[in-house]
Amino acid sequence: MARLFQRAKAAVAKIAEANASPSRLFAACVVGAILGSTPFFGLHFFLCMGAAALLRLNPVAVYGAANISIPPIAPFLAFACIEVGSRALHGRGAPLAIADLRAIEPWKLASNVFAAWMVGAVFVGGAIGAVLGAIVARIAAARQARRARAADPFEQAAHEAVARFAGEKPGHRHYVRWKIRLDPVYRAICEGLPDRLELVELGCGLGILPLLVVSLGSHRRVTAIDWDAPKVEAAARACKGLPIHIERADVREYEPPPCDAIAIVDVLHYFDAEVQRGILARAAAALRPGGTLFVREGEAGKGGSAWTRMVEAVAVAVRWNRSDHRPSFRAIDDIVRDLSALGLTCEVVPVAGRFHPGNVLVRATRASC
């Protein structure tokens, strides 16, 4: 009996999921609402099933939309269809006065009403179905998006990272949630990383990237540093129990250990050009053969750079980001030249988001041998 119930449940689920794309559901609602507005009471179910099969529409959505003609609404729906249909066919409303009704032969009156009802059903039912279909299609699209995110390893890793800040203060919790969602740099760095990896991040902040990197691989270790003591402490708590080592250090003096990848995200612009070159040189020297150095910066003088500079200036002013220097953005070509001079092969990848315009990611790779 249980097996039979499971089969029946699977069959119903299969029917409900058939032709369930947002556009198909929209069409199903329009067709169903039109059929439900017709005078064929008692036959709507069969008409809906036939139309669904013929037009390859979701049968549940078609018949569900047809139920706009339920008893409390049916009289008003019928009147609207007849009135609209009569105006479409004859240019005037349906004859409702007693004198008008007496002047029309019963069979002719019936045929006129039927024709007006059928034509009006297309207009009235179609309008109702379009509104209903738009709502259903939007819900279906949101549901598909949720399913896609749930099946996306990066989204799963992001969810786990956010969960690790559940006990932190609201500012840190909300920042991590929205930073991962709105900044495309994390996905861009994580894509293509090998499963066996040792990564170093210079300027890790709250440790978002280390958490994502470790969650997306089974043989990964991360060493991360930052100068901001409160962030380092919060990051260390969030990364507890994971192969992530967080420490407080000055990126201007830090010597990265030998590793497969190094990430420097939104850090260089806090220092002058000479200090930047020193940071890049030490990072490049720590890379193993075939290793990659990721550098994300805002492009000076390009679209969105003014916005990025303003945001960074505000972040420093309110002490969210700590720096002794005014943010100074260099041209990405200058950074690429510095990296090329260190023997690295560079690729520039745009990672501009809605709230991060003008940002680019430089992938600088050391030769394998």
Residue 270 and residue 193 in contact, taking contact as beta carbons nearer than 8 Å: no
143-194 pLDDT per residue, tens: 888 787 777 889 999 999 999 999 888 888 999 998 998 889 999 999 889 9
Q: Residue 157: phi, psi to the nearest 5?
A: -65, -40
| Phi-psi sector, 56: left (phi>0), alpha (psi -120 to 50), beta | left
Shared-domain flag, residues 250 and 106: no
Shared-domain flag, residues 134 and 180: no
Shared-domain flag, residues 106 and 208: no
DSSP-derived pairing of the beta strands 244-248 and 219-226:
parallel
Please report which confidence band the pLDDT of residue 289 belongs to, taking 50, 70 and 90 as the band edges: very high
Residue 201: closest CA among 293, 335, 324: 293
- Residue 265 pLDDT exceeds 80: yes
Which of 151, 184, 199 is at the close of a domain?
Answer: 151
Highest mean pLDDT (candidates 100-104, 275-279, 353-357): 275-279
**72 vs 225, higher pLDDT:** 225
**CATH number of the domain where residue 284 is located:** 3.40.50.150
39-50 pLDDT per residue, tens: 998 899 999 999
- Residue 122 pLDDT exceeds 80: yes
The CA distances from residue 241 to 36, 56, 169, 236, in Å, are: 60, 52, 20, 10
What is the tally of structural domains in the chain?
Answer: 2
Residue 360: closest CA among 339, 340, 331: 331
CB neighbours (10 Å) of residue 355?
Answer: 14
Helix, strand, or coil (residue 118): helix
Give the Cα separation of 276 and 284 in Å (integer): 12
Highest mean pLDDT (candidates 18-27, 78-87, 179-188, 239-248): 239-248
Shared-domain flag, residues 243 and 337: yes
How much is the pLDDT for 6? Answer: 61
The pTM for the full model equals 0.66
Q: Residue 339: phi, psi to the nearest 5?
A: -70, -40
Amino acid sitting at position 337: R
Residue 308 and residue 356 in contact, taking contact as beta carbons nearer than 8 Å: yes
Which of 116, 151, 186 is at the close of a domain?
Answer: 151
Instruction: Compute the average pLDDT of residues 64-77.
Output: 90
Shared-domain flag, residues 191 and 248: yes
Residue 215 and residue 163 in contact, taking contact as beta carbons nearer than 8 Å: no
Exposure of 273 in the CB half-sphere (CA atoms within 13 A):
9
**138 vs 327, higher pLDDT:** 138
Percentage of the residues of the chain whose pLDDT score is greater than 70: 81
What's the Rg (C-alpha) of the chain?
32
Please report which confidence band the pLDDT of residue 98 belongs to, taking 50, 70 and 90 as the band edges: very low
Which of 151, 170, 195 is at the close of a domain?
Answer: 151
CA dihedral sign, ordered 95, 97, 103, 107: positive
Shared-domain flag, residues 106 and 168: no
Residue 123: closest CA among 83, 150, 75, 71: 83
Shared-domain flag, residues 157 and 109: no
Shared-domain flag, residues 102 and 182: no
CB neighbours (10 Å) of residue 77?
Answer: 21
Percentage of the residues of the chain whose pLDDT score is greater than 90: 57
Domain that holds residue 59: 2-151
Interhelix angle 22-37/59-66, rounded to 10 degrees, is 40
Query: Which long-range contacts (C-beta less than 8 Å, at least 24 apart) are formed by 75-78?
Result: 77/37, 77/124, 78/39, 78/117
Shared-domain flag, residues 137 and 192: no
Shared-domain flag, residues 187 and 303: yes
Residue 332: closest CA among 366, 311, 356, 302: 302
Shared-domain flag, residues 113 and 201: no
How much is the pLDDT for 279? Answer: 96
Concatenated DSSP letters for 177-220? HHHHHH-THHHHHHTT--SEEEEEEES-TTTHHHHHHHHT-SEE
**229 vs 311, higher pLDDT:** 229
Please report which confidence band the pLDDT of residue 285 belongs to, taking 50, 70 and 90 as the band edges: very high
- Residue 97 pLDDT exceeds 90: no
- Residue 12 pLDDT exceeds 80: no
Instruction: Compute the average pLDDT of residues 315-340.
Output: 75
Residue 265: closest CA among 221, 222, 216, 205: 205
How much is the pLDDT for 103? Answer: 47
Please report which confidence band the pLDDT of residue 215 belongs to, taking 50, 70 and 90 as the band edges: very high
**325 vs 56, higher pLDDT:** 56
Shared-domain flag, residues 160 and 141: no
Q: How far apart are the first and last CA of the chain?
A: 66
Q: For all residues of the chain together, what is the average pLDDT? A: 85
